[in-house]
Amino acid sequence: MRLPHKAPRSSVYLNFKEICSSEHQTIVRFYEEYEADIQLLTVEEYFEMSLAYASALFEVGAYSSFLASCDDLIESVIFFNIVNYNGENIYHKLLFRKAVALYHLMEYPASEKILRQLMRMNPED
């Protein structure tokens, strides 16, 4: 995602970027500690940090918390027309992870519905 004006990076964002992407618990703690400050960031920084937070929640198995943030991210992806993010179809990835989270929470019909929608969108995958 690119914005027309490149604003100076905030200190919260720069501190967040110092965390290794595989340190999921650290990402979750940092985001939750600085959530009020993160809400005030530029759209680009906010999206990137929220996506990393949601991914970290998914990776640590906090599926209910992941689902709470997933729909907002999906809405942002649609609103800002973000097709690829870091070389991945972020819309499909978020939907797939949502289905997996629902499955782990034993919400099988909802999980199956999303998986069927994904199969219709991209039958080759």
Only one residue has tokens 């991210």, namely 73
| Segment (H or E) for 85 | strand 84-85
pLDDT tens digits, one per residue of 39-89:
999 999 999 999 999 999 999 999 999 999 999 999 999 999 998 999 999
pTM: predicted TM-score of the whole model, two decimal places? 0.89
pLDDT at 4 over 80: no
- Percent of the chain whose predicted confidence (pLDDT) is above 90: 88
DSSP label of 60: T
Q: CA 101 from chain center: how many Å?
A: 13
Kindly state the helix (H) or strand (E) to which residue 103 belongs, with its residue range: helix 90-104
Residue 75's nearest CA partner among 50, 56, 53 is: 50
